[in-house]
Structure 1
């Protein structure tokens, strides 16, 4: 009798646990032509950094709570069309939070600030010109230095003291800081090769499949640590790479 009561209570406890997990997850459908621009890799980590809500890109609109396409609220234009945010059903609190963020000034500035080659690919819809506002990292730079020394020197030199560490063919943090898209690289590094094969960001990236363990000892960071690394890199002096080469 006691065992049956225990099992019954365990079953009753399962749905609320699942519900709590869904509160930190948004299922979003984005057409392939928009995904291929790299915009999602630019904006989704920034949303997750601030809210600790993970946005999962799904393969079909039927699976999604929110979708970007031709219907709904107009948000931005580029890649050949005006992109709207649509909804599937009522959606949850996490989906509502993402929709509010994407339609806010911060979300819109994040979209229009996406310029991987120095040229903005997206703008707000309509004739109004907007000014792109830089979003400064507000993490703990001291923590970022500690995290970088502990978890990044396997491959990178992160400061003067670690300049002999890492892999010779891998750029140092100061060299990466000198690039025009450094902030994009550091805020989305875990989605850029080769990092996905050995990096886990708590509450953002899915765990490694049990049948495919990482090739090397995995690196695990929290969202707070990722933002701290951003703050550390933002404050460092960029490497002087000299003037571009001119071919005769």
Structure 2
């Protein structure tokens, strides 16, 4: 009998899912009380040999708001999994996001309430791009270097070229920051623009056709900061860019 118990003890201690320290998973009450964790966690451990248990003080955390990876939803609430930089944590997250993990979540039928879903859409949140920098200096530099062609604002609203979009119109474009960051490479700017330490010198055989625009990277950053805070033009329907 002692031999049998010893063999059983050795077998359990040699099994990965029993021998290693468990990883705790904290979850909101509505998830913990639903029975979902008791359904999915043993199946994950059986599949991978990594023990994850329900634990209010766990290092893995399920929350109803970001940050974290959205893993399942119920009654319109999306639950996000927050993990630490650990291979076992990542394995659990990847399993939840895999087809088999999703099927495991959706196969659970709670005694009360609606089932959980692992298939849902995340609404994209549009964020406003604001660039740190000296906006006042950026406005002055914009007037000096760009105001000869572009309308920068009320100060030169009558001086821009009719064929050249104003800063407000450019600011309304979805890719405005990329356009301004690389303006010196977009026609017609390369033929008359020099960014110190960035653009190559003009070809002596092809000098600038107009008085050149010369600035530093710090100047460009100040202009970007200024453009990031100006009011975009209201162009009505979304732009159809080609």
Question: Which protein shows a greater Rg?
Answer: 2
More RCO (CA 8 Å, sep 6+)? 1
Could you state the TM-score of these two structures normalised by the residue count of structure 2?
A: 0.45
Could you state the TM-score of these two structures normalised by the residue count of structure 1?
A: 0.44
